[in-house]
Amino acid sequence: MVRGGSMRRPSLAAVSEFTLSADDYRLMEEVGFGANAVVYRAIFLPANRTIAVKCLHLDRISSNLDDVRKEAQIMKLIDHPNVIKAYCSFVVDHNLWVIMPFMAEGSCLHLMKVAHPDGLEEPVICSILKETLKALAYLHGQGHIHRDVKVGLF
E-assigned strand segments in the chain: 25-33, 37-44, 49-57, 88-92, 95-101
Q: What are phi and psi of 90, to 5 degrees?
A: -165, 160
28 neighbors 43 (Cβ within 8 angstroms): yes
Q: For the chain, give the longest Cα–Cα distance.
A: 47
Q: Is 148 a catalytic residue?
A: yes
Among residues 102, 89, 77, 84, which one has the least CA distance to residue 22?
89
64 neighbors 56 (Cβ within 8 angstroms): no
Q: Is 54 annotated as a binding residue?
A: yes
Q: Among residues 23, 66, 118, 148, which one is catalytic?
A: 148
Handedness of CA 27, 98, 88, 150 (dihedral sign): negative
- CB count within 10 Å of CB 116 equals 11
Active site residues: 148
Task: Could you list the residues known to form a binding site for ATP, using ranges.
Answer: 54
